[in-house]
Amino acid sequence: MSGKQRLLDDIIRPVIEGLGYECWGLEFVSQGKHSILRVFIDGENGVMLEDCEVVSRQISGVLDVEDPISGEYALEVSSPGMDRPLYNLSQFERYAGHKVSVKLRMPFDGRRNFEGLLKGIEGSDIVLVVEDNEYLFPADSIDKANVVPQFD
């Protein structure tokens, strides 16, 4: 997590949790004058449009006061969805037994993209089974990870 994302997380997470939701994660994409702040929330019974609206209004108010982002930006609040991104070890642990896709920061065995069964975590590594091969990837080597939706 970048310094900017950590700062935003420190400001936003208490607001979301105070409203009774889980702050699943956030992404800040700096694009010059038109940056995007994506905030993913989850709830016990899922997330509806009205939930996103309530959280968006509260976050907007706090961000207006704290002013951590210079320039214009768009705020997007949504559910993590079926292909939810995984940001931390506890989320990886919760989705053990599911199929996930992982993109590494640096190539391993000549590739950066892996898709397989998430077996769990060991220490600070995730355990991924890909085509009968078991891989241990340090969490900090992962650039992006998502749950792969299964439609049976």
pLDDT for 1: 63
Q: Are residues 8 and 60 in the same domain?
A: yes
CATH value at residue 129 = 2.30.30.100
pLDDT 10s per residue in the chain (152 long)?
Answer: 677 888 999 999 999 999 999 999 999 988 877 889 999 999 999 999 999 999 999 999 999 999 888 888 999 999 999 999 999 999 999 999 999 999 999 999 899 999 999 999 999 999 999 999 999 999 999 999 999 998 87
Helix (H) or strand (E) holding 62: helix 49-66
CB-based contacts of 24-30 (< 8 A; 24+ apart in sequence): 24/80, 24/84, 24/85, 24/87, 24/91, 25/80, 25/85, 25/87, 25/88, 25/91, 27/85, 28/2, 28/4, 28/69, 30/4
Q: Which amino acid, 14?
A: P
Q: Which of 24, 47, 78 is the last residue of a domain?
A: 78
CATH value at residue 31 = 3.30.300.70
Q: Are residues 136 and 104 in the same domain?
A: yes
- Count, residues in the chain: 152
User: Which of 134, 98, 133 shows the shortest CA–CA distance to 118?
Assistant: 98
| The model's pTM | 0.88
